[in-house]
Amino acid sequence: MGRRLLLEHDNVPGIETFDVYRKNGGYRSVEKALKSMSPELVLEEVQKSGLRGRGGAGFPTGMKWSFLAKPEGVPRYLLCNADESEPGTFKDRYLMEKIPHLLIEGMIVSSFALGANTSYIYIRGEYMWVLEILEKAIAEAYDKGFLGKNILGSGYDLDLSVAPGGGAYICGEETALIESLEGKRGNPRMKPPFPAVKGLYGCPTVVNNVESIAAVVPIVNDGGEEYAKIGLGKSTGTKLISACGNLARPGVYEIEMGITVEEFIYGDDYCR
């Protein structure tokens, strides 16, 4: 079995609550980033990690973040893409359901790096019960001072909320997601301009997948170089895989990038 960076604690009873998550090392990356790092330094670690977007296209996350325009006096947004509608795919749902605070922690650190003070998790409309789990966890994070004004006395403010999706597969495409979040029909926009320049409400915006944002937590905790040691070539780190169909043990597994499909399906550690 390879290293588990995201699902290390998924079977700990009560891990969906703030207190249990915190006891298991949760929110360390927020303390580290807000107390001892600059936004630029967080970006640097993400660049060093080699993390590539987990939403499908595999675009390097650090590079995407570096494209974000920073005009004076204009808000920036981080949007988490939790629309997950690909048939047979349920890895984002699993992560949010089991360890909602991991995504919230990733949203805080990533929003800090991008200079965003308002961020949204756009979640597939059919995942209503998961939306409720997230809202409960977000309320706990506000209550404990990890969201809202002056987080941990750092001077950094962040408001985070969850928005239910429009109920169409296309709403997972980032510009359609933005249209939908603005209250319109989820039709994709012409590009350019890209969201990094003109996104939500015409402001610079980064859209990242749930798993990409969660991966920022171990990257900040252990450093980008440590993360980049796992994997193969330009595919660094770990990956969540939804395994379903004719398998002895279907489910969501965290693998180290670079193992073969054969090992995954027939190896003793995973689906067999």
Please report, as ranges, the residues that interact with ligand FMN according to CB under 6 A. Answer: 53-57, 59, 64, 81, 83-85, 170, 172-174, 207-209, 212
Q: Kindly tell me which of 111 and 212 has the beta carbon lying closer to ligand FMN.
A: 212
Task: Kindly state the DSSP code that residue 126 receives in the 8-state scheme.
Answer: T
| Nearer CB in complex with ligand FMN: 57/190 | 57
What is the spatial distance between Cα 121 and Cα 60, in angstroms, rounded to a whole number?
20
Least distance (Å) from ligand FMN to the CB of residue 92? Answer: 7
**Rounded to the nearest whole angstrom, what is the least distance from the CB of residue 260 to ligand FMN in the complex?**
23
The token pair at 256 is 């180290």
Q: Which is nearer to ligand FMN, 54 or 239 (CB)?
A: 54
Q: How big is the chain by its Cα radius of gyration, in Å?
A: 18
Residues in CB range of 191: below 8 A, 6 or more apart: 175
Structure token digits, residue 191: 């590009």
**Alpha carbon separation from 224 to 81, 215, 229 (Å, rounded):** 23, 11, 9
- Shorter beta-carbon distance to ligand FMN: residue 106 or 271: 106
In the complex with ligand FMN, the residue whose CB is nearer, 55 or 237, is 55
Q: Annotate 166-203 with DSSP letters as a single string.
A: -S-GGGGSHHHHHHHHTTS--PPPPSSSPTTTS-GGGS
Nearer to ligand FMN, 89 or 117 (CB): 89
Q: Is 75 in contact with 202 (CB distance < 8 Å)?
A: no
Tokens of 216: 């920022």
Taking the C-alpha atoms of residue 146 and residue 267, their distance in angstroms, rounded to an integer, is 41
Residue 112 C-beta: closest distance to ligand FMN, Å = 17
Alpha carbon distance 225, 45 (integer Å): 8
CB of 82 to ligand FMN, least distance (A): 7
Considering beta carbons, is residue 53 or 218 the nearer one to ligand FMN? 53
Shortest distance, CB of residue 39 to ligand FMN, whole angstroms? 18
Distances (CA, A) of 53 to 24, 65, 153, 235: 26, 11, 31, 10
Give the nearer residue to ligand FMN in terms of CB position, either 125 or 148: 125
Rounded to a whole number of angstroms, the minimum distance from the CB of residue 93 to ligand FMN is 11
Cβ of residue 60: shortest distance to ligand FMN, in angstroms?
Answer: 8
**Residue 252 β-bridge partners:** 242
CB of 162 to ligand FMN, least distance (A): 15
CA distance 102 to 7: 9
